[in-house]
Amino acid sequence: MKFNELGLSAGILSTLREIGYETPSPIQEQTIPLALAGRDVIGQAQTGTGKTAAFGLPTIEKIDENAGLQALVIAPTRELAVQNQEQLFQFGKSKKLKVRIVYGGLSIERQIRDLKSGAQIVVGTPGRLVDLIKRKALNLSALTTLILDEADEMLNMGFLEDIEFIIGKTPESRQTLLFSATMPEEIKKIGVKFMHDPEHVKVKSEQMTADRIDQYFIKAKEFEKFDILTRLLDVERPELAIVFGRTKRRVDGITRGLKLRGYRAEGIHGDLDQSKRLSVLRDFKAGHLDILVATDVAARGLDISGVTHVYNYDITQDQESYVHRIGRTGRAGKSGQSITFVSYNEIGYLEAIERLTKTPMKGMKPPTKEEAYAASMSVAFDSIVRDLAESSVKSDKFEKQLSALTEKFDSRQLAALLLADRSKDPDTMEKVEVPAERPLPALGGKKSGRTGGGNRRGNSQNNRRRDDRNRDNKRGYKVEHKSEAGKNPRKRTANEKKSGFVMRSRGDK
C-alpha cells in the first residue's frame, strides 16, 4: 500500500514525497483511515513504528488553517514533545500551520506570548499544560482532536491526575487518539472513561525486532564491561551508536570514561537541564557526536535516523524496554545491530526478552585487546593517508621547523609519533572505572549451558522507572493513584454506557 491510497490530500502527499515518505508503516496504514473517518483510536505500537505520522497526518488533514487551536498532543517528555512538534510542523507545511510547543524548563511567559500569537496545534508536556490552563493562557474549549502519545510512559511518570485534568477541559465531542507501547489496565480505564467506542490497532513488537536488527549478547562480568565496550567500538566502527545504562550514575560514568579514551560521546538523563539535553541531541543528530549514552527514560521516543548500533551496557529488567532500546536502530529499511552485556545471573532476563520478541540472540565472542588495537591502528593509518591526500598545506611554510626535526629524528620516528597519537594503544590508554551496579536478581528460566561465545561480526554497520519516580517525587507528582481512584468517580456518558469500550483488534491477526 502507498500513502496515496489512504485518503490524504494532494498537498500532504506532495510534502510526504519531499521528505522521502513512500510506504506507510503498519501502524500508519491501519490508523490513518480510521482517524480520517473520525473514529477514536487506541494505537498499540513500539517506538520507531511511525506513530507521529499515524496520528499527525489525519489530524493535519482535518485542520482548518484559518481557525484557532484545534488539536492538542500530550507527550511525557520534553524530548518527545520537541520531536512531535518538529514532525507535525514538517507534515503541515502545505497548509502553513502554526504548531506551538510548551514544556517546563523554559520561560512560561514566552510560551504564553507564542500561544497568543495563534496556533492550530499545540504540543506539550502534562505539567506545563496544566499550568497554562490554570493561568487561562490555554483554552481547549474548541478542541476537535486530542492525542495522548506514549500514554503508558505518562502513567509510569505519575501524570495520570494531570492528564485527567487536561481532558476535563476539552469538549466531550472531541476525537481522541491514544498511543501506547503496552496496554496495562490503567490505559484501558482511560479508554472506557474518556473515549467513544475506540478501535484498537496493534502492531506486534516482534514485527519490528526480528527483521532488520542483528541481536547479540556477550556474557561479561561487571569489571569487564567497559573495556569490552571500547574494543567493540574500535572493531565495529559504528557510524552512530547509543549505549544504554540502567541509572543516571551509570550513564555519567560511561560517558566520562569514553571521553577519557578519546571517543566523541555525551550522555543524557533526567538530571540534566533542558538546554543541555537538547544541545546533546542536536549534536548527535548532526553527526558532531558518535556515541550517545542514555537512560531509558531520557531516550524514550527519540527519533534519530542513522543509528547503526545499540549497546545495552546493562540489560533491562522489563522486556518491553529492551524493544524500545533496540528500536532506535534498524529504521527506514536499514539494518542495525544490538549487543547486550549479560552476567551469569541475568540469563533469565535475556531468555524472557527472546520469548517476547520470538528472536533468539546469538552469542558473540568479545574482541581481544590485540584485535581492538589492530582496528584502531587501521583507522589511524587511513585517517593520516586521507588527510595527507586532501591537505593543501605547503611544506615550505614550515621549512625551518621541518629542517630542525629531520636533523634530530628520522622520518620513521616522526610517522610513528603521528600513528601513536591517532591510535588507541591498550598498554598506554587511560584506566577507567565505571561505578559498579548490582546485577539484577536472578530470574527463573536460567540455563547454565548458555554461553556468550560464538562468531563476531567485525566492522559491521547500537531502573527507567526508578529514575522517573525519584525525579517526579521531587516535583510533587504522585506515582500511585489507586487510593484516589474512587473518591470522585466521573459519571459515564450515555455513549460510554452504550459502547462499554469495545476494543476491536485490527493488527493482531
Domain extent at residue 435? 207-369+430-467
Hey, what's the cell of 403? 629542517
Same domain? For 225 and 128 the reply is no
Same domain? For 218 and 255 the reply is yes
Same domain? For 495 and 435 the reply is no
Has residue 330 got a pLDDT over 80? no
Is 162 domain-assigned?
yes
Tens-digit pLDDT profile for residues 53-94:
999 999 999 999 889 999 999 998 887 888 889 889 989 888
DSSP character at residue 507: S
Strands (E), 188-284: 199-202, 213-219, 241-244, 265-268
Same domain? For 137 and 41 the reply is yes
pLDDT for res 382: 83
User: Is pLDDT larger for residue 468 or for residue 253?
Assistant: 253
How far apart are alpha carbons 33 and 10 in whole angstroms? 16
| Contact of 89 with 121, CB cutoff 8 Å | no
Burial of 370 (0-12, 13-18, 19+ CB in 10 A): exposed
CA 451 to chain centre: 30
Q: Among candidates 302, 262, 241, which has minimal Cα distance to 48?
A: 302
Same domain? For 160 and 47 the reply is yes
Same domain? For 115 and 215 the reply is no
| Contact of 365 with 455, CB cutoff 8 Å | yes
Has residue 424 got a pLDDT over 70? yes
Mean pLDDT of the chain, nearest integer: 81
- Across the range 439-447, mean pLDDT stands at 62
Tens-digit pLDDT profile for residues 462-488:
343 344 434 444 433 333 333 333 344
Q: Which residues partner with 292 through β-bridges?
A: 242, 266
pLDDT for res 300: 63
Has residue 253 got a pLDDT over 60? yes
In the three-class reduction of DSSP (H, G, I as helix; E, B as strand; rest coil), residue 102 is classed as strand
Same domain? For 122 and 221 the reply is no
At residue 84's C-alpha, the angle toward residues 82 and 88, to 5°, is: 120
Is 478 domain-assigned?
no
Is 480 domain-assigned?
no
Same domain? For 353 and 442 the reply is yes
Is 375 domain-assigned?
no
Same domain? For 240 and 290 the reply is yes
Is 491 domain-assigned?
yes
In the three-class reduction of DSSP (H, G, I as helix; E, B as strand; rest coil), residue 471 is classed as helix
Same domain? For 308 and 442 the reply is yes
Q: Is 466 left (phi over 0), alpha (psi -120 to 50) or beta?
A: alpha
Is 399 domain-assigned?
no
Tens-digit pLDDT profile for residues 175-209:
999 998 878 888 888 888 899 989 998 876 544 44
Domain count, the chain: 2
CATH number at residue 336: 3.40.50.300
Has residue 504 got a pLDDT over 90? no
Lowest mean pLDDT among 203-207, 218-222, 250-254, 406-410: 203-207
DSSP character at residue 177: E
Tens-digit pLDDT profile for residues 373-416:
888 888 888 888 888 888 877 777 888 888 888 888 888 888 88
Residue 305 sits at φ, ψ, to 5 deg, of -80, 155
Same domain? For 195 and 270 the reply is no
pLDDT-based confidence at residue 456 (cuts at 50, 70, 90): low
Total number of residues shown for the chain = 509
pLDDT-based confidence at residue 48 (cuts at 50, 70, 90): low
In the three-class reduction of DSSP (H, G, I as helix; E, B as strand; rest coil), residue 397 is classed as helix
Same domain? For 290 and 364 the reply is yes
Cα dist from 303 to 20, 164, 275, 286, 299, whole Å: 15, 27, 18, 13, 9
Kindly state the helix (H) or strand (E) to which residue 101 belongs, with its residue range.
Answer: strand 99-102
How far apart are alpha carbons 350 and 371 in whole angstroms? 27
pLDDT for res 61: 93
CA-only gyration radius of the chain, Å: 26
DSSP percent split of the chain into helix, strand, coil, nearest 5: 45, 15, 40
Hey, what's the cell of 289? 557526536
What is the reported pTM? 0.57
Q: Among candidates 323, 329, 265, which has minimal Cα distance to 293?
A: 265
Has residue 491 got a pLDDT over 60? no
How far apart are alpha carbons 108 and 24 in whole angstroms? 37
Has residue 320 got a pLDDT over 90? no
pLDDT for res 502: 44
Is 394 domain-assigned?
no
pLDDT for res 205: 52
Strand pairing class (71-74; 41-44): unpaired
Q: Which residues partner with 267 through β-bridges?
A: 293
Tens-digit pLDDT profile for residues 155-182:
888 899 999 999 999 999 999 999 988 7
Is 409 domain-assigned?
no
At residue 425's C-alpha, the angle toward residues 243 and 412, to 5°, is: 140
pLDDT-based confidence at residue 277 (cuts at 50, 70, 90): confident
